[in-house]
Amino acid sequence: MKDFKDLVDALENIQSLESKEQKETRLKSLKREILKLEIAVIVIGLIILSLIVLPFFSILSFSFTSVLAILGGVALIVKAFKDGDTLETEKYFLLISISNDKTQDKDGE
């Protein structure tokens, strides 16, 4: 239900943007947010990988804390993917809206 609400909010945000410049600014903002999420997923994934691999080389002891860190990291990655899906959907609809504006501008000339 939360995902549906997030999607509706994203579509309402797009509809509230009136000018092409506002839409392009929002698109740049969305691209930055998506990039931040991608970087966070990569960093968390590398940390999780190191927590799994390092105990095999006896560099780090495998403990209950390591297991909790791995599980917490996986949960953060899943959350990032859910947030990323909403952002990607908003980006997609925003690109459609910008494309429609460009088409209307060409038809109006």
At residue 62, the pLDDT reads 75
Residues, the chain? 109
Separation of first and last alpha carbons in the chain: 44
Q: Which residue has the tokens 């925003």?
A: 94
- pTM value is 0.76
Encode the chain (109 residues) as per-residue pLDDT tens digits.
667 787 788 778 778 877 888 888 888 998 999 999 999 999 999 988 888 888 887 777 778 888 888 899 999 899 888 888 888 888 888 888 888 888 877 766 5
Q: CA-to-CA distance for 93 and 16, rounded, in angstroms?
A: 13
Among candidates 107, 42, 53, 108, which has minimal Cα distance to 80? 42
Other C-beta atoms within 10 Å of 2: how many? 8
